Structure 1
Amino acid sequence: MEVAIMHSELNKNVCKTLIAAEYAGVEIKMAENFQMGVSNKTPKFLKMNPLGKVPALETPEGPIFESNAIARYVARLKPGNTLFGSSPIEYGQIEQWIDFSALELDANMRAWVFPRLGYATYIKSAEESYISGVKRGLGALNMHLVSRAFLVGESVTLADIIMTCNLVNGFKYLFTKSFTSEFPHVERYFWTMVNQPNFSKIINRMGQVKQADVVLPFPSTKKPDAKPKSEPKKEEAPKPKPESEAAPEEEEAPKPKPKNPLDLLPPSKMVLDDWKRLYSNTKSNFREYNDENTVSFVTMNKVGGFLQRMDLARKYAFGKMLIIGNEPPFKVKGLWIFRGPEIPKFVMDECYDMELYEWTKVDLSDEAQKAS
């Protein structure tokens, strides 16, 4: 069966279909002489997609538009591949991660980058919201990938193809190394995927994927002068200002920002960075939280949001959270080390979901507690 894809240029949305075709063994014909702004406004194309958007797929049975739908169709053309998993539960989980990729990550990343590409108006508060959404999504994805090479099962599925393609522009334009260092398992997953032969064969046609050194800057809005510059005017002696226009009184110097109470504590003999390195290489067990978490992505979102809110304690704490179990209800366990003898008051005040967890102060002299 011959299918033809119509697009203006190779981008991450087209790559989804072409990579799926590589895994499924489907031949895709590329539409020739397609010109955006012309070809997509013809009556023929508008019958394929009434919105005139690309990509669109032409098949013997009829047209398909929307990149995820096109990739799904191509992945199903030839039976026998595992792009949709090997069981109903894997199929559901693949669809789950496709939706997650579109709604939690791609939507926020596009809104973040569009003003920087000149496609939308920049609003600082809106950008901050989009960045927060991206971090929340990456945090949940990072936790899921702690002990997994793929999103579902033990091989590449359509979920991995769509997730990776959606992440490409993030890594190229937005995600500096300092940004992704908070999500090491996402980093490892992304670079593993883009270097798979079927991925690199397609994605590298857009140019080699390199991680951004800096967040993409805003386009310059300064326009060149259209008129020749006039002769400079002769300087005139400045006129004295009336008393009503006299310079305002000097503003009061800003008051120094009060120090965090934890910075006032005496020096600690414990070096937190040394502990983090020791902890990262030591097998640890965690205390149970509760058994109310019955939906995996909801549980991940809750814990991911909690970790984002705990970012305010980064200088004063070290923490680790785990979601345990393959079947609901999922267990949430964690271990936190705080500067000082108690959980800091500002953390309790600012991180509103602290009270949802059961906190137990560790007694290092209690062998039973250390073992648990």
Structure 2
Amino acid sequence: MALVLHASKTNKNAFKTLIVAEYSGVKVELVESFEMGVSNKTPEFLKMNPIGKVPVLETPDGPIFESNAIARYVARLKDDNLLYGSSLIDYGHIEQWIDFASLEIDANILNWLRPILGLRVYLPPAEEDAISALKRALDALNFHLASNTFLVGHSVTLADIVTTCNLYAGFTRLMTKNFTREFPHVERYFWTMVNQPNFRKILGEVKQTESVPPVQFAKKPSQPKEPAKAKPKNEPKKEVKKHEPEKAKAEVTEEEEEEAPKPKAKNPLDLLPPSKMILDEWKRLYSNTKTNFREVAIKGFWDMYDPEGYSLWFCDYKYNDENTVSFVTLNKVGGFLQRMDLARKYAFGKMLVIGSEPPFKVKGLWLFRGSEIPQFIIDECYDMELYDWKKVDISDEAQKERVNQLIEDCEPFEGEPLLDAKCFK
């Protein structure tokens, strides 16, 4: 019998098991057409979990409920699974962070979210308490992540999977950029995790919410109606306006509520005066130049460059001391470039990872449409805050030469070898 997971495709607690399965090479089938509020009320489901909670995993030896227990079970199906670390103390720390993520993060996110959705009575003091408790937890997590890429050790563990899935509801439903900017290491950690291939395969593209949803006040219970009085005969009938019957609200859980899509506003950069620089032409020249790069591509760049329509920026990573593992550093840069995809129409970038041994340095050059870094990029891409940004003064020959070296992946760069160079185009 295959492992069968009973949950909807959008259930963040089911995500834990599905991501663990990807890392462990275990096949878990998700039940087709699972409908929350219907499928989990059937006698068959209640036999597996008498209180009807989701998810439930069917196994050859019987059902398991509670999402963390299910994730642990699937992880243990593989011998010596690195998701459980490589030592007894790793195991203890992994369990510690799983409990922390459940009791301090998930519980407080739900205490904030459920009253907003009308699933509990909305009380402003209770909301303030939930937000305060959540910030306290995120502050503790932020402190730990200031000196750690992962929660335990130097690779993804079960603790990272559970914590990220618990943060998922907060980032996608409640915690706006203004809220999470207080916790830059948590932001870096979350976006790094959700862009790992095994996470992305299950979660898809993750976007941070732009606003907290409005409060849906729970309806008061209806009062019993008084018996209708008999109407005297021959009384003229009053004209009654017909109303469309209200649609009954489907049962909603915190994992399945979705906001209606918002119409996209026109990007302010599209309203700028036309520029003599055609960004696609520069990207094409860069990609097609294989020899004599200085004479062809670099010269062509400065011939095309329009300082009135575009601006150049140096960026330097603020936390280079953290870059102690090469592949983790490269993943950070790769994740940054993935999240910059929203700016592809308006930007070109070069990112260099520098050094032959840790800590590695990350430096870059970006070309942006407009005279400043576009605000929508600052708002949408959390990585921007992780770098120091300096506008290039093209009248300074030294800065101009630094631009040339960054574009052509000059090695050594500023006296050090290159570990890697990445281009955003």
Q: Deviations over 1:126-180 (max 9, x none)?
A: 0000000000000000000011110000100000000000001111121111211
Q: Tell me the TM-score normalized by structure 2.
A: 0.51
Q: 1:3 to 1:130 in 2, by over 3 A?
A: same
CA distance in 2, matches of 1:135, 1:87: 31
2:145 matches 1:145: yes
What are structure 2's unaligned runs of at least 5 residues? 220-239, 243-317, 322-425
Q: 1:201 to 1:124 in 2, by over 3 A?
A: same
For residue 138 of structure 1, give the secondary structure of its aligned residue in structure 2.
helix
In structure 1, the residue matched to 2:16 is 16
For residue 102 of structure 2, what is the amino acid of its counterpart? Answer: A
Map 1:103-252 onto structure 2 (within 5 A): 103-204=103-204, 208-219=205-216, 228=241
For residue 61 of structure 1, what is the amino acid of its counterpart? Answer: D
In structure 2, the residue matched to 1:97 is 97
2:71 matches 1:71: yes
Residue 281 of structure 1: how far off its partner (Å): 8.4
For residue 5 of structure 1, give the secondary structure of its aligned residue in structure 2.
strand
Give the superposed CA RMSD.
Answer: 2.4
CA distance in 1, matches of 2:170, 2:68: 18
In structure 1, the residue matched to 2:36 is 36
2:20 matches 1:4: no
Q: 1:282 to 1:144 in 2, by over 3 A?
A: closer
For residue 98 of structure 1, give the secondary structure of its aligned residue in structure 2.
helix
Q: Deviations over 1:285-337 (max 9, x none)?
A: xxxxxxxxxxxxxxxxxxxxxxxxxxxxxxxxxxxxxxxxxxxxxxxxxxxxx
Q: 1:62 to 1:146 in 2, by over 3 A?
A: same
Q: 1:86 to 1:116 in 2, by over 3 A?
A: same
* Deviates most, 2-11 or 100-109: 2-11
Q: Tell me the TM-score normalized by structure 1.
A: 0.58
CA distance in 1, matches of 2:195, 2:320: 30
Map 1:283-362 onto structure 2 (within 5 A): none
CA distance in 1, matches of 2:161, 2:26: 15
CA distance in 2, matches of 1:120, 1:131: 16
CA distance in 2, matches of 1:15, 1:123: 30
Q: Deviations over 1:198-245 (max 9, x none)?
A: 0011011xxx321122222223789xxxx749xxxxxxxxxxxxxxxx
2:54 matches 1:57: no
CA distance in 1, matches of 2:19, 2:320: 39
Map 1:236-275 onto structure 2 (within 5 A): none
CA distance in 2, matches of 1:81, 1:282: 31
For residue 83 of structure 1, give the secondary structure of its aligned residue in structure 2.
helix
For residue 182 of structure 1, what is the amino acid of its counterpart? Answer: E
For residue 150 of structure 1, give the secondary structure of its aligned residue in structure 2.
coil
- The share of aligned pairs that are identical, in percent, is 63
Does the 8 Å CA contact 2:180/2:187 hold for their aligned counterparts? yes
Residue 96 of structure 1: how far off its partner (Å): 0.2
Residue 50 of structure 1: how far off its partner (Å): 1.0
Q: 1:212 to 1:50 in 2, by over 3 A?
A: same
Does the 8 Å CA contact 2:111/2:130 hold for their aligned counterparts? yes
Does the 8 Å CA contact 2:118/2:218 hold for their aligned counterparts? no
For residue 156 of structure 1, what is the amino acid of its counterpart? Answer: V
In structure 1, the residue matched to 2:351 is none
What are structure 1's unaligned runs of at least 5 residues? 230-279, 284-372
Does the 8 Å CA contact 2:122/2:217 hold for their aligned counterparts? no
CA distance in 2, matches of 1:201, 1:282: 29
